[in-house]
Amino acid sequence: MNQTTGPDRATGRRTGRGFGRVLVTVYGVLAFAAIGRSSYELVVKFHEAPVAYSLSTLAAVVYVVATFALAIGTPVWRTVAWVTVGIEAVGVVTVGALSLADPGVFGESTVWSGFGQGYGYVPLVLPFVGLWWLWRTKHSTSARTSEERTA
Amino acid sequence: MILALLLLVIALCVVLAGWAGWFVARDRAVILNQLWGGAVIEGLVLVQGVVAVVQGATGAGAGDPLLFWGYYATTLVILPVAAAWAFAERTRWSSVVLLVASLTVAFLEWRMWQIWTGA
């Protein structure tokens, strides 16, 4: 969290500031939800549906990494954010489509089943907002820096 | 779980969310008094934890204990983390963060009640 106290203007707009602060918050909440869900599934009933529960665990790890990557926002972490948010976008669309085509395909439902309808479709919307935000904060120009100052 | 206490926590969360929402509309950042409000809610959540431990020890609560305490742990963590995260941002976006966190806690409280009663 204390990375936010030293704005590094040389690396462009920080992904964790301004609107990004809200984005990281929602990511954090979803990360908590996904960790809770997957650890419960792993401990209590992994043998019932290994594929579904492995997917839930993967989703949880990706959400946690994406949350930290967006919060820190240095060039390396920005790349990590692109990758993890990208995986989420692909994952939710792929798993969502597969789960609609064949509801029993993973044995049990996952965070991404039905395009994340169990979580109010937040898992579907969030990665695309995340990609938009990464794209929007990409360019490091003096104009954007002054915009940031007045924001 | 005591229903009255749970409803009080939810009501306070809604009030805090409304306060934060008003600040969003007025383009203001989170202020310290709002964090004190969050601290009051956090204190009540801690009381809920003690109550749930005592009730659980006497065999009350129909739901899955592991699931319940998983939700409880999340509920306990969200407000302090969100408060610190919001307070470091001195724009209206910090108020949006507090708004999201308050509503999340209210939702989690409702879920905890569902799990506790085995609904």
Cα separation, A107 vs A47, whole angstroms: 11
Cross-chain Cβ contact A26/B100 below 8 Å: yes
Q: Do residues B105 and B13 lie in contact, with contact meaning Cβ atoms separated by under 8 Å?
A: yes
Test the A interface: residue of B30, B67, B93 with most A CBs within 10 Å: B93
Q: Give A13→chain B minimum CA distance, Å.
A: 14
Mean pLDDT taken over chain A: 86
Confirm or reject contact between A43 and chain B (CB < 8 A). yes
Cβ separation of B74 and A26 shorter than 8 Å?
no
Chain B, nearest residue to A3 by Cα:
B88
B65 or A148, which is more confident: B65
CA dist., res. A131 & res. A109, Å (int): 26
A36–B78 CB contact, under 8 Å: no
Q: Write down the pLDDT at residue B78.
A: 97
Residue of chain A with shortest Cα separation from B66: A40
pLDDT for residue B57: 87
Q: Is A17 helix (H, G, I), strand (E, B) or coil?
A: coil
Q: How far apart are CA A78 and CA A66, in angstroms?
A: 9
A56-60, A77-81, A136-140, B5-9: which has the minimum mean pLDDT?
A136-140
State how far residue A83 is from chain B, nearest Cα, in angstroms. 24
* Among A37-41, B10-14, B26-30, the least confident range: A37-41
ipTM of the complex: 0.93
Q: Is B89:B97 a contact under the CB 8 Å cutoff?
A: yes
| Minimum CA–CA partner of A23 in chain B | B97
Number of separate domains in chain B = 1
Q: CB–CB of A5 and B88 under 8 A?
A: yes
Give residue B92's pLDDT. 95
Q: Domain of residue B46: give its range.
A: 3-116
**Alpha-carbon gap: A141 to the closest alpha carbon of chain B (Å):** 21
Residue of B nearest to A22 (CA): B97
Phi and psi of A144, rounded to 5°?
Answer: -70, -35
Taking the Cβ of residue B96 and every Cβ of chain A, the question of whether any pair is shorter than 8 Å is answered with yes
Element (H, E) at B7: helix B3-25
How much of chain A exceeds pLDDT 90, in percent? 72
Print burial letters for A51-90: b (CB count within 10 Å at least 16), e (below 16). Answer: ebbbbbbbbbbbbbbbbbbbbbbeeebbebbbebbbbbbe
Distance from CA of B15 to the nearest CA of A (A): 20
What pLDDT is attached to residue B59?
81
CB-nearest to A32 from B74, B88, B96 is B74
CA-to-CA distance for A66 and B17, rounded, in angstroms?
A: 26
Q: Which residue, A41, A54, A37, is CA-closest to A123?
A: A37
Q: Do A36 and B88 touch (CB under 8 A)?
A: no
**Cβ–Cβ gap B85/A21 under 8 Å:** yes
